[in-house]
A and B are shown apart, each in its own frame.
Chain A
Amino acid sequence: AAGVIQSPRHLIKEKRETATLKCYPIPRHDTVYWYQQGPGQDPQFLISFYEKMQSDKGSIPDRFSAQQFSDYHSELNMSSLELGDSALYFCASSSRGPKAGNTIYFGEGSWLTVV
């Protein structure tokens, strides 16, 4: 079965540069979530979209922005990168939002290293 696809899997950026992460949800899933996981930490919620509209916002820095496109894929844009942004970034998807009680599936993640 198709899973959540994230790209790139790894990227290395310098401080103050910009990075874009892409996420392709499971077909027919209309909800996308972004999470950030630092080393040894639990995943922290950044932002979510339902039917191409932002549905919730967590601890996402103002330097970060995201959107969900008409084909339901999503992109997380990160600017003015800082060393502390180095983390594993997950995208997840589900059908009809989290409160529908459907499974939320995660991708393999994108490793961002800021040097």
Chain B
Amino acid sequence: SQQGEEDPQALSIQEGENATMNCSYKTSINNLQWYRQNSGRGLVHLILIRSNEREKHSGRLRVTLDTSKKSSSLLITASRAADTASYFCATVGIQGAQKLVFGQGTRLTINP
């Protein structure tokens, strides 16, 4: 991938459990955004976190950012079958590029 690596590449858990996905990136960032994608569908924006922020919440989602380690995590609590999707982190770098660069994504499966 151009920028980030996501870990794990695939995750399968039982409904009701929490799911944690990690993202690492290579260069200093302006902001980092998490997206969800159902198979063959559009990218749905979940959360944006800026480089001066450490944690953000939105409903059952919690995102952390550690700029010293160049990493972010997405936690989904009390997972539901409808959370089954691919999750991508994407970064906007500080230097140069006017674009969002995606990681490889984590395929999350929630088993009922």
Contact = CB atoms under 8 A, between A and B. Distances in A.
Given A88-B40, A98-B92, A48 B99 contact: yes
A106 B99 contact: no
B81 interface: no
Contacts, number: 66
A64 B101 CA distance: 20
Nearest to A57: B99
B42 A109 contact: yes
A45 to B, nearest CB: 5
B103 A104 contact: no
Classify chain A: how many residues form its interface, as a range.
20 to 34
Contacts of A90: 42-43
Given A42-B105, A97-B98, A106-B42, 16 more contacts: A43-B88, A45-B99, A56-B97, A56-B98, A92-B43, A92-B100, A99-B98, A101-B30, A101-B31, A102-B48, A103-B45, A104-B33, A104-B90, A106-B35, A106-B45, A108-B41
5 contacts: A33-B99, A56-B97, A98-B31, A106-B35, A106-B42
